[in-house]
């Protein structure tokens, strides 16, 4: 491992260990990891952190869950979202909160993108039935978590490398910081003891074929190609997408591994875009 890489790894571990990840997050993780925990225990932890509480209640009210009545308490929200989703929201809120006020457009667009990919992953999970909605939501929401982490560590220097072309972004990140955002994010997720399929979905969200060919025994997790496809269809139409196409030999293997076809992807993209319009405002705080 090169020095730059080692240094980045230890700085990411440091983030988890000390101040930046608030102690409330540790408590949420303890409660959600303990299968004997009740909704009221998690509620007690969340009510102490306003920004996590607001996000959990706000998201549970999103049109996606289509509840006829408004959710206005943390306990109702936990019941609607489930422990895994609450955990994902708490982790991402804690990490995204490091963006300073001045950089609000970055956090708002990254939040929106992450949430859209989470919704896209859930829709794919529902259509294929090969992973749970909870796992799909968590992995989709956290797939780009390496970006705010690198920003937290490198500040302005990280903003300077954020370009449009994702392929050169990955090599520039690796050269400059010691690892690209998917790997940095996967180190973080692994250290936070998130499930292995979630860690792999973060790590390989720009190149699931590497993951698929690395699995020698057993069946590869369909979550990895699924999060990749959700990210791909949702990013398309944004300014950097010109060069992507899902109609290629490379993508037919990925589509097969995720158990989806083009029609499903088109459908997911349209549905997420419609939902996203109605979620306007949830990402600003
Ligand atoms: Fe990414
Ligand atoms: Fe992404």
Could you say which ligand is closest to the alpha carbon of residue 116? 2
Spacing, Cα 270 to ligand 2 middle (Å): 17
Spacing, Cα 71 to ligand 2 middle (Å): 29
Could you say which ligand is closest to the alpha carbon of residue 170? 1
Helix, coil or strand: residue 178: coil
Q: Is residue 164 in some structural domain? A: yes
| pLDDT bracket for residue 163 (50, 70, 90) | low
Which domain, by its residues, includes 221? Answer: 3-20+98-278
| CA dist., res. 261 & res. 271, Å (int) | 16
| pLDDT bracket for residue 46 (50, 70, 90) | confident
Number of residues that make up the chain: 285
Give the C-alpha distances (Å, rounded to integers) separating 64 from 14, 36, 193.
36, 28, 28
> Nearest-CA neighbor of 261 among 238, 229, 223, 231?
229
| CA dist., res. 119 & res. 235, Å (int) | 13
Spacing, Cα 100 to ligand 2 middle (Å): 21
Mean pLDDT comparison of 26-30, 118-122, 216-220, highest-scoring range: 118-122
Average pLDDT, the chain: 81
| Residue 150 and residue 5 in contact, taking contact as beta carbons nearer than 8 Å | no
Percent of the chain with pLDDT over 90: 28
Spacing, Cα 68 to ligand 2 middle (Å): 31
Spacing, Cα 140 to ligand 2 middle (Å): 9
Quote the distance between the C-alpha of residue 50 and its chain's center.
21
Phi, psi values for residue 236, rounded to 5° = -65, 140
Give residue-wise pLDDT tens across range 207-227: 999 999 999 888 899 999 999
Spacing, Cα 40 to ligand 2 middle (Å): 33
| pLDDT bracket for residue 117 (50, 70, 90) | very high
pLDDT of residue 10: 95
Return the higher-pLDDT residue of 47 and 124.
124
Spacing, Cα 102 to ligand 1 middle (Å): 23
Backbone dihedral region for residue 280 (phi beyond 0: left; psi -120 to 50: alpha; all else: beta):
beta
The residue with tokens 């996590």 is: 52
Spacing, Cα 276 to ligand 2 middle (Å): 15
Spacing, Cα 1 to ligand 1 middle (Å): 23
Spacing, Cα 73 to ligand 2 middle (Å): 31
Q: Is residue 62 in some structural domain? A: no
**Residue 144 pLDDT > 80:** yes
Q: Is residue 14 in some structural domain? A: yes
| Residue 131 and residue 123 in contact, taking contact as beta carbons nearer than 8 Å | no
| CA dist., res. 94 & res. 148, Å (int) | 10
Spacing, Cα 91 to ligand 1 middle (Å): 17
**Residue 65 pLDDT > 80:** no
Spacing, Cα 68 to ligand 1 middle (Å): 35
Helix, coil or strand: residue 66: coil
pLDDT of residue 238: 46
Q: Is residue 43 in some structural domain? A: no
| CA dist., res. 91 & res. 67, Å (int) | 25
Q: How many domains does the chain have?
A: 1
Query: What mean pLDDT comes out for the span 227-251?
Result: 67
| pLDDT bracket for residue 275 (50, 70, 90) | confident
Which letter does DSSP use for residue 65 in this model? G
pLDDT of residue 206: 92
Quote the distance between the C-alpha of residue 82 and its chain's center.
16
Spacing, Cα 75 to ligand 1 middle (Å): 32
Residue 169: which CATH number? 1.10.3210.10
Spacing, Cα 97 to ligand 1 middle (Å): 19
Spacing, Cα 231 to ligand 1 middle (Å): 8
| pLDDT bracket for residue 112 (50, 70, 90) | confident
Spacing, Cα 226 to ligand 2 middle (Å): 12
* DSSP secondary structure letters along 217-231: SSPPPTHHHHHHHHH
| Residue 148 and residue 154 in contact, taking contact as beta carbons nearer than 8 Å | no
| CA dist., res. 186 & res. 181, Å (int) | 8
């Amino acid at each position: 491992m090169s020095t730059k890489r080692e240094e980045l790894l230890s700085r990411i571990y440091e983030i988890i260990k000390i101040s930046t990840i608030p102690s409330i997050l540790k408590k949420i993780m303890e409660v959600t990891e303990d299968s004997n925990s009740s909704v009221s225990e998690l509620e007690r932890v969340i009510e102490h952190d306003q920004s996590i509480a607001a996000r959990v209640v706000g998201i549970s009210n999103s049109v996606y869950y289509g509840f006829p009545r408004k959710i206005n308490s943390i306990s109702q929200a936990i019941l609607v979202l489930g422990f895994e989703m609450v955990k994902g929201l708490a982790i991402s809120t804690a990490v995204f909160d490091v963006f300073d006020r001045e950089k609000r457009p970055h956090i708002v667009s990254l939040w929106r993108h992450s949430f859209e990919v989470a919704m896209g992953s859930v829709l794919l999970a529902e259509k294929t039935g090969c992973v749970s909605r909870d796992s799909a939501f968590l992995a989709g929401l956290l797939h780009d978590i390496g970006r705010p982490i690198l920003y937290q560590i490198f500040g302005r220097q990280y903003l300077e490398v954020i370009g449009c072309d994702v392929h050169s972004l990955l090599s520039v990140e690796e050269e400059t910081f010691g690892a690209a955002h998917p790997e940095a994010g996967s180190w973080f997720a692994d250290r936070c003891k998130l499930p292995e399929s979630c860690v792999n979905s973060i790590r390989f969200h720009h190149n699931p074929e590497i993951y698929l060919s690395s699995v020698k025994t057993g069946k590869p997790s369909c979550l990895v190609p699924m999060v990749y496809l959700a990210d791909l269809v949702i990013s398309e139409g944004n300014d950097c997408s010109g060069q992507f196409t899902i109609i290629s030999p490379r993508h037919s293997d990925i589509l097969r591994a995720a158990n989806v076809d083009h029609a499903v992807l088109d459908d997911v993209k349209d549905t997420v875009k419609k939902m996203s319009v109605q979620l306007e405002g949830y990402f600003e705080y």
